[in-house]
Amino acid sequence: MAKENLSNTKNAWLLVIVAALGYFVDIYDLVIFSIVRVQSFHDIGIPEAEMRTDGEYVLNMQMGGLLLGGLLWGVLGDRIGRIKVLFGSILLYSLANIANGFVQDIHSYALIRFIAGIGLAGELGAGITLVSETMSKNKRGYGTMIVASVGVLGAVAAYYVSEVFDWRNAYFAGGAMGLLLLLLRVGTFESGMFREMTGKQVEKGKLSMLFTDKARFTRYVWCLLIGLPIWFVVGILVTQAPEFGRALGAPVTLSAGKGILFTYLGLSIGDVLAGLFAQVTKSRRLAVFLFQLLIIATSVWYLSSEGLTEQRFHWIAFFMGIAIGYWATFVTIASEQFGTNLRATVTTTAPNFVRGALIPSTLLFEFFVRRSDIITAAYIMIFLLTGIAMFAISRLKESFNRDLDFVE
């Protein structure tokens, strides 16, 4: 029995390592556009005046793909298994990223980022679901923390690859890493909870179940809302660093690529801190609430930094990254709130709906920009989104140490 438990423990940690590497490649491919946006737009002939809005267009197409992919892979994860989703999603986004290296115009660029977004949507949800269902309830927080903290370092790799190679080769590198990861995935095993459920007469991955029961639907909405500020910080405050720098009177043009680098370095540390805080306090809710306060503090620091220097911007980006580092905790909360027959659906759709929520956030941000200025609009948005997240986490029950072997 002891030998069997040791074997199960080794298998669980092997799964954590493979999931972490998968998320590493996922994050690389997710942020590579934000890093090479300016360089690639120059090369395909986008006028300087249109770079910000065309950048929002391409990024929103990618986020739209994440929304659609979240639904697709989430349902498939509960119906055919978590492992199959991991294989299918990584193949799709790897091929899409290779195709991205050949684009010559803005519309092809946007279409391929949409397809890549569909593929990218499956990685994190399936990985976190597998880890949550495989590890013991008092240790799974450590597993998901490692997946996220290692995974987000993919953004650091994306920055350095883009510094060494041109933007087309940076896309090729992302696709090649994904295809190599497929080989590592051979031999990984399916979740025991999922295998046990396959013999039961229960409805699996039925999306309508999230909407036909009021209590279940409300629980799902609260799960989504707690992640809203994360992608606004990455997708607007950091990605549009050149434009925010001009508004703040920065002496040099700020680099969005370096901003992404330092943000994700901070995010990796933040994921560890949020995970450890939740383990020590035995409360994921408290961790999320605390990190909302950090988001407000660091965003105000950024938006009030007149004459923002490049070095100061890097420090601010790093601390904003720490503040949004409750990402793994947020996804784990979503996973723990629902039964095995809906867990992959929720765990896959939740982070992708949050990423996709950047689309309405961007539209609302632009609405405020037109009526005021970019700094005021950002202030309004960050207070609005963190306020919503704080209210949402107050409505969810604590899920730490919850037994996950149940169905809806």
Residue 405 lies in a domain: no
Residue 221 lies in a domain: yes
Give residue-wise pLDDT tens across range 363-408: 999 999 999 999 999 999 999 999 999 999 999 999 888 878 777 7
pTM beyond 0.85: the answer is no
Task: Say whether pLDDT at 3 is over 50.
Answer: no
Give residue-wise pLDDT tens across range 138-180: 788 888 888 888 888 898 899 899 999 999 999 999 999 999 9
Structure tokens at 138: 């008092």
d(CA 93, CA 113): 9
Q: Span 24-41, mean pLDDT?
A: 90
Structure tokens at 379: 């202030």
CATH number at residue 92: 1.20.1250.20
pLDDT given at position 14: 79
The secondary structure of residue 49, as a DSSP letter, is G
d(CA 259, CA 234): 9
Residue 202 lies in a domain: no
Residue 6 lies in a domain: yes
Judge whether 18 and 87 are in contact, CB under 8 Å. no
Give residue-wise pLDDT tens across range 303-326: 999 999 999 999 999 999 999 999
Residue 25 lies in a domain: yes
Domain tally, the chain: 1
Give residue-wise pLDDT tens across range 38-79: 899 999 999 988 988 899 899 889 988 988 998 899 889 888
Judge whether 296 and 229 are in contact, CB under 8 Å. no
Give residue-wise pLDDT tens across range 257-277: 899 889 989 998 999 999 999
Question: Which stretch, 155-159, 251-255, 343-347, has highest mean pLDDT?
Answer: 251-255
Burial class (CB in 10 A: 0-12, 13-18, 19+), 229: buried
pLDDT given at position 81: 81
d(CA 406, CA 408): 7
pLDDT given at position 186: 66
In percent, the amount of the chain with pLDDT more than 90 equals 55
Q: What are phi and psi of 179, to 5 degrees?
A: -65, -35
Residues spanned by the domain of 371 = 2-185+210-395
Residue 199 lies in a domain: no
pLDDT given at position 61: 94
pLDDT band at 132 (very low <50, low <70, confident <90, very high): confident
User: Rounded mean pLDDT of the chain?
Assistant: 89
Q: What are phi and psi of 260, to 5 degrees?
A: -60, -45
Task: Say whether pLDDT at 299 is over 80.
Answer: yes
CA nearest 269: which of 289, 291, 284? Answer: 291
For residues 41 and 125, which has the higher predicted lDDT (pLDDT)?
Answer: 41
Q: Is 349 helix (H, G, I), strand (E, B) or coil?
A: helix
Judge whether 227 and 389 are in contact, CB under 8 Å. yes
pLDDT band at 194 (very low <50, low <70, confident <90, very high): low
Question: Around 208, how many Cα atoms within 13 Å sit in the side-chain half-sphere?
Answer: 1
Residue 285 lies in a domain: yes
Residue 355 lies in a domain: yes
Task: Say whether pLDDT at 4 is over 70.
Answer: no
